[in-house]
Amino acid sequence: MATSLSTPKLSTTLSSPTFHSLYKTKLSNFSLSKPLQYNCVINPRSRASSLCYGRRFAITRAETSFTNGAEPPRQYDFDLFTIGAGSGGVRASRFASNFGASVAVCELPFSTISSDSTGGVGGTCVLRGCVPKKLLVYASKYSHEFEESCGFGWNYEAEPKHDWNTLIANKNAELQRLMGIYKNILKNADVTLIEGRGKVVDPHTVDVDGKLYSAKNILISVGGRPFIPNIPGSEYAIDSDAALDLPTKPNKIAIVGGGYIALEFAGIFNGLTSEVHVFIRQKKVLRGFDEEIRDFVGEQMSLRGIEFHTEESPQAIVKSADGSLSLKTNRGTVEGFSHIMFATGRRPNTKNLGLDTVGVKMARNGAIEVDEYSRTSVPSIWAVGDVTDRINLTPVALMEGGALAKTIFAGEPTKPDYRNVPCAVFSQPPIGIVGLTEEQAINEYGDIDVYTANFRPLKATISGLPDRVFMKLIVCAKSSKVLGLHMCGEDAPEIVQGFAVAVKAGLTKADFDATVGIHPTAAEEFVTMRTPTRKVRSSPSEGKAEHDTKAATGV
């Protein structure tokens, strides 16, 4: 016997704004003609069975006759089978198990570089994304800090030297430690971990390297993979996976791309004293970010020695007899690179998962189309994280995974909330943002007040370096609500995380003004801006702006 929870008919549009223009939120283009049924199989061997009759579900007993095409009850190996043990998959699986479901997760064997046969528990963020990247950012910042220290009286008898092999070895040791933590999280939550490649056979069956597992619900959380354009000589290029695990530090590197991944690696290698050239198709970096932030970070990175080649598209890579690489673009050829890295975006990792054969609808780029509850066009199959190409950020995948577990197993149909999602770019200097850009605010609200500050931080007054900080508030002129908050400068991500709570809560400029600042800090500038830099008065465009998912990661 099965019991079910009915939810209201789901709409095919989000009721809240998304992460404006950095990434678009894509919903499915299919329509739902019936209310969704979130089913819980009553299986005496399933830990979820007792929960179905508990206070978590407001349910009624299902009818014993199966008419109108309803399938008869059956027993499954698991209530939820998750393919992919990244951030979203682990969160959904752990929460589902805590709600009483029997859960299994499959994941590929570990490798620092992902492939069709390798992955690892923890996923992109932990193993070849956020965490190892941030460790390399820390390593690269010391060269700038050595420069800063001279003005404060520090002297060095010899020039500090960096050992790349030590950094990579320690980074990889930390990845192993974190992967062990993730495995223990699953174990402690009574989630079964299966090593191997999962493939969907039918709406309730997963094949893992030849062994079949049945499940009432299947979750796809396999993330994305870096993409390198198919140009002559592309086999000589590296992507972000490889860049995090190179055997030697680049002497001279070309980075193709103008999104956040490109800027972060440009800062890393520049800080580690490599010669860095960045090639972008556009006139500015970070398409989709606030225009003043784009201008400011480009200027600051140039002052630190990074050379930008704007409005240049890669056409070919040529390898010389001495092993050096040349990059040919529409404007000419630059020679002498030890490495050429492409940071030209990521694509959903849905190849060879069997989704097309069972009827799961996907976009042209391979992204799985889902509704507002992360359900695919096949009722028993769900998807969260980068594989859905909504907002491709780890904390968002965590939110989606938690919401999905509540929807299916806790009797609480929950939509992920994409309003005012903060994000950071760990460039040097770093960026933190939450809310609308100035351009988006004008388009959606018309009349706005803009407050900006561009100043030399206290540390730079003695270090003598040309470091500056830029901060910006965007305020609705009619309601005084703070619509957007942007910062580029030291500690920007840490500062903006705190202010994101205020923006999410809908606080006004008066609330900011009434807050006492902490002195001396850069952060206090956000609560001491009194006079608008400019006032914009215009009529908002009809409807809300559509936002480009790929803006932050494209070339």
DSSP for 511-530 reads HHHTSPPPSS-SGGGGGT--
508-523 pLDDT tens trace = 999 999 999 999 999 9
Between these two residues, 495 and 542, which has the higher pLDDT value?
495
Sheet containing 60-61: give its strands across: 37-41, 2-6, 60-61
Of 68-82, 213-227, 265-279, 460-474, least confident by mean pLDDT is 68-82
Torsion of CA 522, 528, 531, 535, to 10 degrees: 70
152-161 pLDDT tens trace = 999 999 999 9
- pLDDT class for 241, splitting at 50, 70, 90? very high
Is the pLDDT score of 219 beyond 90? yes
Going by C-alpha positions, the residue among 80, 109, 82 that lies closest to residue 196 is: 109
Write down the residue that tokens 């309601």 correspond to. Answer: 479
Per-residue model confidence (pLDDT) at position 548: 36
Residue 110 buriedness (CB in 10 A; 0-12 / 13-18 / 19+): middle
Per the CB < 8 A criterion, the answer to whether 379 and 35 are in contact is no
Residue 169 buriedness (CB in 10 A; 0-12 / 13-18 / 19+): exposed
Per-residue model confidence (pLDDT) at position 540: 65
Going by C-alpha positions, the residue among 443, 445, 496, 446 that lies closest to residue 470 is: 496
Angle subtended at Cα 286 by Cα 549 and Cα 370, rounded to the nearest 5 degrees? 10
Per-residue model confidence (pLDDT) at position 541: 59
Non-local (6+) Cβ contacts of 477 within 8 A are: 445, 447, 448, 449, 535, 536, 537
Is the pLDDT score of 17 beyond 80? no
Rounded to 10 deg, the angle between the 260-271 and 130-150 helix axes is: 50
Annotated catalytic, 519? yes
458-501 pLDDT tens trace = 999 999 999 999 999 999 999 999 999 999 999 999 999 999 99
Instruction: Using alpha carbons, list the distances in angstroms from residue 523 to 257, 511, 554.
Output: 31, 15, 30
Read off φ and ψ for residue 542, nearest 5 degrees.
-65, 130
Q: What's the token pair of residue 379?
A: 């009722």
Is the pLDDT score of 526 beyond 70? yes
Please give the share of the chain, as a percent, with pLDDT higher than 70. 84
Of 45-59, 128-142, 208-222, least confident by mean pLDDT is 45-59
Going by C-alpha positions, the residue among 238, 249, 250, 264 that lies closest to residue 166 is: 249
pLDDT, mean of residues 31-42: 39
Going by C-alpha positions, the residue among 374, 118, 364, 377 that lies closest to residue 221 is: 374
pLDDT, mean of residues 525-537: 98
- CB-hemisphere CA count at 13 Å for 27? 19
Is the pLDDT score of 236 beyond 60? yes
Write down the residue that tokens 């870096």 correspond to. Answer: 226
HEC string of 27-86 equals: CCCCCCCCCCEEEEECCCCCHHHHHHCCCCCCCEECCCCCCCCCCCCCCCCEEEEEECCC
Beta strands in 280-380 (DSSP E): 307-309, 314-319, 325-329, 332-337, 339-342, 346-348
| Secondary structure class of 338 (helix, strand, coil) | coil
Per-residue model confidence (pLDDT) at position 160: 94
Is the pLDDT score of 56 beyond 50? no
Query: What gap in Å lies between CA 292 and CA 549, rounded to an integer?
Result: 20
Per-residue model confidence (pLDDT) at position 419: 97
Per-residue model confidence (pLDDT) at position 71: 57
Q: Containing H/E element for 455?
A: strand 448-455
Amino acid at 81: F
Q: What is the DSSP string of 184-227?
A: HHHHHTTPEEEES-EEEEETTEEEETTEEEEEEEEEE---EEE-
80-130 pLDDT tens trace = 999 999 999 999 999 999 999 999 999 999 999 999 999 999 999 999 999
Per-residue model confidence (pLDDT) at position 34: 36
Q: What is the mean pLDDT of the chain?
A: 88
- pLDDT class for 27, splitting at 50, 70, 90? very low
Q: What's the token pair of residue 425?
A: 């770019």
Per-residue model confidence (pLDDT) at position 187: 98
Per-residue model confidence (pLDDT) at position 24: 39
Is the pLDDT score of 53 beyond 90? no
Per the CB < 8 A criterion, the answer to whether 37 and 217 are in contact is no
Q: What's the token pair of residue 216?
A: 């009432």
Choice among 204, 486, 519, 547 that is catalytic:
519
- pLDDT class for 55, splitting at 50, 70, 90? very low
Amino acid at 433: I
- CB-hemisphere CA count at 13 Å for 104? 22
Amino acid at 95: F
Instruction: Using alpha carbons, list the distances in angstroms from residue 530 to 106, 473, 520.
Output: 54, 11, 18
- pLDDT class for 73, splitting at 50, 70, 90? confident
Instruction: Using alpha carbons, list the distances in angstroms from residue 456 to 230, 251, 301, 464, 469.
Output: 44, 32, 15, 10, 6
- pLDDT class for 60, splitting at 50, 70, 90? very low
Per-residue model confidence (pLDDT) at position 144: 97
Per-residue model confidence (pLDDT) at position 70: 54
Query: What gap in Å lies between CA 440 and CA 438, rounded to an integer?
Result: 5
340-377 pLDDT tens trace = 999 999 999 999 999 999 999 999 999 999 999 999 99
Query: What gap in Å lies between CA 381 and CA 375, rounded to an integer?
Result: 6
Per-residue model confidence (pLDDT) at position 74: 85
Query: In angstroms, what is the C-alpha Rg of the chain?
Result: 25
Per-residue model confidence (pLDDT) at position 35: 38
